[in-house]
Structure 1
Amino acid sequence: MSNVSFPPEVLENILSHLPVKSLLQFRSVSKSFRAIIDSPYFINLHSKQSMKTDKALAYFRGVGSSTFICSLHMDPDPSCVKMETPFNIADFPQIIGSCNGLIGFSTGRVNREILFWNPSTRKHKPIPTPKHDPHIVSDQVGYDHVNDDYKVVRLSMVSVPVRDFKFTVYSMRLNAWRVVEHDLPNNLIPLCCSGHGCCSGQAVCVSGVINYLVNQHSDPGLDCVIVAFDLASQSFHLVSLPECCNSYKAVHLRLLGGCLCLVGNIGMFGVDVWVMAEYGVKESWKK
């Protein structure tokens, strides 16, 4: 039988439909296979293909040194699998976000350390973090699709001489952090540090934009707005919430079906779920 060679684009398309376990084996077939599988183009192609077919939720179980991470696969039949990590998961007890299968972890402490892990390739990368930043509010992972760059946005509170936000952005491509200037009002307060105990972790990445749920005053009541940070342009803008948002006892930002989602607590036994069908368009909020 004569040898059959496929055009590179055909071979890439075939390989993109294979599970990661097979791809790791095929890297040993030849130098050309390894070059294809390790290329940034193929990694993005495989990630997009996987997102169409493989939906999984990563979550922690256990406490302290007995902590481990699980993957809950929803399709076609629900199944839970313990995931082995090449690092001590107890040292990084907080997930700060995920993009295209890449998961961000942090220590959750002052001057917290950050680590990226790709469960598919089993590779991990510690992130050099700025020191002497004791007022960290949140770290959030996001993907800048314009510059093909994975980023971490660190939000801190500065109390001298007046209370203010500080945004520091890490770029994986540059392997460096930089402070981003802003002109946001000083009266904005992230919900996770405004006294609303069940509103922690109020940040979510949608379409390359990190969205923060903040309160517009320090009173006990809610008067919320979303501060959005565009990862590509490094600029800020405000996103409107549904009119009834401030009537809820507590609110949470989430991601649902690729759309920005707001969960409003209406009492002990009920919630409203709002989805922004078209990002940035207030009229597209649907309950």
Structure 2
Amino acid sequence: MSNIPEDLVMNVLSRLRVKSLLRFRSVSKSWRTLIDSPTFIKMHMERSMKIGSTVEVIHRRNLKKFYSLHLDLSGNPVRDPEELPHPFGYRYDLEDSVVFEIHLVGSCNGVLCFVDSARRIVLWNLATRKYFEIQYLRIETPKFANFYYLVNYGFGYDCVTDDYKVIRLITTYNGISECYLVEVYSLKSDSWTRFEDLVGNTYRDNHGILVSGALHWIRDDNESPIVAFDLTEEEFNSCALS
């Protein structure tokens, strides 16, 4: 089997379903490394979309369960939804809907980003079912902001630096004063960067939507209700409605 060219192996494996790939990861260390590689994951996703199927993840917060649904190009399911194993582990199988609340922040290139009520963030690879818990960063707010704060998240892929990034927007206020903070996590460097949000204005309770290399949020500003964060430049741009 070692005599088979790697590009041929990759070509064949990229045509298989995820369930088959999970089994074939046990064939050898080289196959496991190949299937887990970002290059193969991208190739598998691109081929899946070309043949007319994709995967949509459905999040049901009240039941804390996740499902994958395969659709054709018309949006019709090609088979019944399949329940996915829980990325946070067995401790979230409990019935406590407050402590064990889980949110799907976003997805990109087959990698999903989740955050729980304890503000723990997990990246989950759908193809390999492997997940990575991001190092915890405590939310630091100004001394005056002891009344309330709102946290918005975003997740996306920076194609220029070949890096996955998680964005955390923090709006803190006590009814009189407000402060806006931005925290950026880089998977490549496994580190957080914290700086002030110069755009300002309170964000609504929503996760960032990735479009053209930038994450977009809705905020409370009639003139520029949408703000975009460029993942490469790591800077904001306001979007006015025409």
For normalisation by structure 2, the TM-score amounts to: 0.77
Aligned-pair CA distance for 1:33:
2.8
Q: Which aligned segments of 4 or more residues in structure 1 are displaced greater than 6 angstroms?
A: none
Give % identity. Answer: 35
Is 2:137 the counterpart of 1:122?
A: no
Aligned-pair CA distance for 1:101:
1.8
Instruction: Indicate the SS of the match to 2:86.
Output: coil
Contact 1:228/1:238 (CA < 8 Å) preserved in 2?
Answer: yes
Aligned partner letter, 2:190: N
Instruction: Summarize deviations over 1:5-35 as a string: whole Å, max 9, x none.
Output: 5543333222222222222222333444334
Is 2:79 the counterpart of 1:70?
A: no
Q: 2:202 aligns with which of 177, 181, 189?
A: 189
Aligned partner letter, 1:56: V
CA separation in 2, counterparts of 1:183 and 1:67?
Answer: 36
Q: Which residue pairs with 1:235 in the alignment?
A: 235
> Which of the pair has more CA radius of gyration?
1
Over the aligned positions, Cα root-mean-square deviation in angstroms equals 2.8
Is 2:18 the counterpart of 1:20?
A: yes
Contact 1:136/1:154 (CA < 8 Å) preserved in 2?
Answer: no
Instruction: Indicate the SS of the match to 1:205.
Output: strand
Is 2:163 the counterpart of 1:149?
A: yes
Point out where structure 1 has 5 or more consecutive residues left out of the alignment. Answer: 193-199, 217-221, 244-287
Is 2:214 the counterpart of 1:209?
A: yes
Contact 1:213/1:224 (CA < 8 Å) preserved in 2?
Answer: no
Aligned-pair CA distance for 1:212:
1.5
Is 2:153 the counterpart of 1:139?
A: yes
Point out where structure 2 has 5 or more consecutive residues left out of the alignment. Answer: 94-99, 142-148
Aligned partner letter, 1:37: I
CA separation in 2, counterparts of 1:238 and 1:124?
Answer: 34
Q: Which has the higher contact order (CA 8 A, sep 6+)?
A: 2
Aligned-pair CA distance for 1:231:
0.8
CA separation in 1, counterparts of 2:21 and 2:128?
Answer: 9
Contact 2:224/2:238 (CA < 8 Å) preserved in 1?
Answer: no
Q: 1:171 aligns with which of 168, 179, 186?
A: 186
Is 2:115 the counterpart of 1:106?
A: yes
